[in-house]
Every structure is written in C-alpha cells, then in structure tokens.
Structure 1
C-alpha cells in the first residue's frame, strides 16, 4: 500500500479533527487519485486551498498522488510567505466582488447589502442551485456547510467560521479585503436591488403620515419598490457601518 504525507497550514486546520491539526498526516492509499479528491477526503474544501506543494514543487488540483509524496497545503492567508512561488490552484481574481449566501447566513447577507455589496440570498436555495449560481455568475459562495464548498462547480467560496453575525461581517470583510470597496446604503436590504432617488410627490400616498410631514428625501428599490428614508433606523445603520469600517 502506498502512502503520502500531508501537512495543512494556518486556518485549513479548522477543517481537521483536533488530533490531525498542525501535524503531519500519513495517508494510505491503493488507487492513485487526483490530489484534490484526497485533500477533500481529509476534510478540507478545495476553494479554501491557495497553494499545494508536492515535494516542494507547486502543482494543480489534477496532480495524481504518488507513493512517498510529501504534500504541503496552504490557505490564502499564507500567500505573503509563499509570494515567490506561483500557485497553480489559485483562480483568476474577480473583477467584481459579488456573493451568494446559504440559508444559514441571512443576517450576514443583510450586512453585506447594507455595505453596498451585490449579495444574493434566499432561504429556499438548495445546495445544487447555490453551486450553479456561484459558478455561472462568478459569485463568491459564503457558507457554513463545508460539504457545499466541496461541490466541483464551486470555484470561489469561503467557509464562514464565526457564528455571531456581527463578527461574521468583519471576518468576511477581512478575508476578502473589502474595506476600500464599501459603498453604503446603495442596495435594498430586502431584495438586493439598487436604490434610486424618488420624488416625494410620486410616493406620498405610500408614506406614514408623520414621515410625509417630516422627511423630504427618499429612495426606492428598482426591483421590489421598497421605499427608504433617513428615519431613526438610519442612525443605527450608520453606527453599524462605522463599527465595521473601524475594524479594518
């Protein structure tokens, strides 16, 4: 029986059982298989992998595992320390950062929209649909389900570690270096549509009486027609946005 030694670095260890973290893992195998399949069989989703070295040489996901191979697997956070090595698994950078989120991340979806990011979310997306959307539209799939990230269609994806929504948004902002891309309060929190200014007189019959008397500036979603104005909720959103930006 052949064997290969694996070592996973940094946050890739989050996917491993405690006894396998930060240590060399000896993998026994009989049939030769692509290294991508073996990495995922050990628990690490391929979109989380940024660099694979086999016997100190960079390889891609199609590399066929061989007896006595020594494999080092690195995440995105290790890119700086491996800057001199060309990664053969890193996908092309996205020109536009867009997201699609699974059912567990509804509050994170609202936060991303509040900060201006194109974010698809529905509570009835199934896993196959999420993977197809991520692939077809080149959207980063954010999920709390590592099995979903292992679907072959998924190229751009990330497993959200935090469970608290306020920490999740900071985690995602840091992971994708989004702090300079923020464009707050440009999207509908309900449906993700873009907001456009709307004349008060054209919507006055849809406004609460006191709002119609006190507020003059309004925006409406181009998709679902939800109306927005700077009420008491606006100050709370501004405070939230400032707190997120200060964490960058």
Structure 2
C-alpha cells in the first residue's frame, strides 16, 4: 500500500517519549495511507493524553486530521505561560472537576493527592481495563508510569508521571495541572478517599490513646474505616508539605490526617 511522508517535530517534555535520535529536531517519517495525527503521534511513542496542541503546516488541527504527503507536523505539550486560546486544543474541554485514578505503581502519590484534597481512586489490584472504565465513566484523570495505558482510545485526560518519589510526584502533578489554587488539605481520608468529619472529644473515647485525649481537643473521623485522627507530629509534617505547594497558604479547614 502506498505511503505518505510527513515531517514531525515534538517540543519540550514530549521528547522524553521519543527514541533518542529523534529528540529535539525535525525528522521525516513514513505514514500509512489515511493515518491520522493521533495514530502517528502514538506510533512514535507519545501518549495522546500528553499532547495539548498539534499544528500541521502552520494551522492547528485535531487528532483526527488525516496526514498528507509533505505535511509538517509540530506537536506541543501543555503550555504553562503561553496563551493559545485562539488555537484549537486537541480536547473539547477541560474536566469541570479534577479527580484522579492512579495505577498500581502510584499508591504513595494517591495518598498525597488525597491529603491535598483531591478525590483519587487507587487500588493495588486495579487492572488497566478497570482504570480505563473508571476514567471514562467518572471523568477522571489517569495517573500512570505506563505510557501504553495512556494510549487507550477512551482515555481523554491523563498524565505520565515522571518523578519517582511520591512527594516529587505530587509537586509534578500540582505544577503540570496548575492545581495550587485548588488545594484543600485534610478533607479526605488517606486510606479510604472518603470525606473526614469533625467529632466531639467524647466520641473519640476508646478510639484514640489516652495520652492523645489528654493533649488534644479536636478530632475528625472517617465514616468508612472508622479511624480517628488528630493533629499530631505526622499532621505537622504533612502540613509543611502542603504549605510548600501553595505560594500563600490559605486558612485550611483544620481536620487531620493520621497521627
């Protein structure tokens, strides 16, 4: 079957997904007849969820643009500072509410996102099909270090997590998705992802150590796992982490993660 040849250039962190000889330069590539921009971008190794803008021959296009012989294709990630509102972004609209589903390798990140107040589903036994279904049915952003998962057709919003340590991963996601203004810490149970609620000290009797009851007066609980939390040393360490994400920390609801 005849092929067409197009020239590609990927920008910024998208180069991380390419074979080393193709990074940070324009290169020609043979494409099948009727191949779309999405097909070729992913064939070259870049998940479509990492792409924010595609420009072909100087005009912004969507993922369904069929490539023609001689096309010049520029592919861009999310822009941090440049206003591209007049151009065609490859997704119809952002998600109204940012919610996540994390794969099996990101349990630590999932807990920290819950700490920051973001609804995050995680189960060490989630199969890729389950993650895809949750992302589609509940409009969740997929977080993963598996680029093949992000290439699945029905996953429209996702992030390939580059950092290896949970705290660095949290900062990466907050920075990449511009979430600092949406941080509302200590609202969700780190284990269950369920809302925390205040309880009277009397309701903590028998559920928290005696020494804790003597030193603390404010308690919260999770109605799913029934654990009781208070502002201990662990809370203070996590408070410091959260404050580092937000330039001017707002007055947060003083509920507490595990001590």
d(CA) in 1 for partners of 2:185 and 2:156? Answer: 27
Whether the 8 Å CA contact 2:181–2:246 is kept in 1: the answer is: no
d(CA) in 1 for partners of 2:59 and 2:175? Answer: 29
| Moved segments of 4+, more than 4 Å | none
Report the TM-score when normalising by structure 2.
0.89
Aligned length: 247
Q: How well do the aligned residues superpose, as a CA RMSD in angstroms?
A: 1.8
Partner of 1:38: 40
d(CA) in 1 for partners of 2:81 and 2:62? Answer: 16
Question: Does 1:64 pair with 2:66?
Answer: yes
d(CA) in 2 for partners of 1:247 and 1:207? Answer: 33
1:183-207 Cα shifts (integer Å, max 9, x gaps): 1111101111100011222331222
Tell me, what secondary structure is at the counterpart of 2:101? strand
Q: How far off its partner does 1:79 sit? A: 7.0
5+ long unaligned stretches in structure 2: 250-259
Question: Does 1:47 pair with 2:49?
Answer: yes
Question: Does 1:142 pair with 2:148?
Answer: no
Report the TM-score when normalising by structure 1.
0.93
- The answer to which of 3-12 and 204-213 deviates more is 204-213
Question: Does 1:224 pair with 2:225?
Answer: yes
d(CA) in 2 for partners of 1:12 and 1:228? Answer: 42
d(CA) in 1 for partners of 2:227 and 2:55? Answer: 51
5+ long unaligned stretches in structure 1: none
Structure-2 change in CA distance of 1:124 and 1:46 (3 Å): same
Question: Does 1:245 pair with 2:221?
Answer: no
Q: How far off its partner does 1:241 sit? A: 1.6
d(CA) in 1 for partners of 2:119 and 2:80? Answer: 27
- The answer to which of 27-36 and 228-237 deviates more is 27-36
Partner of 2:20: 18
1:159-196 Cα shifts (integer Å, max 9, x gaps): 11111222111111111111111111111011111000
Structure that is richer in helix per residue: 1
d(CA) in 2 for partners of 1:233 and 1:111? Answer: 13
1:80-116 Cα shifts (integer Å, max 9, x gaps): 16444233x1331222111111111111111111111
Tell me, what secondary structure is at the counterpart of 1:220? strand
Q: How far off its partner does 1:245 sit? A: 2.6
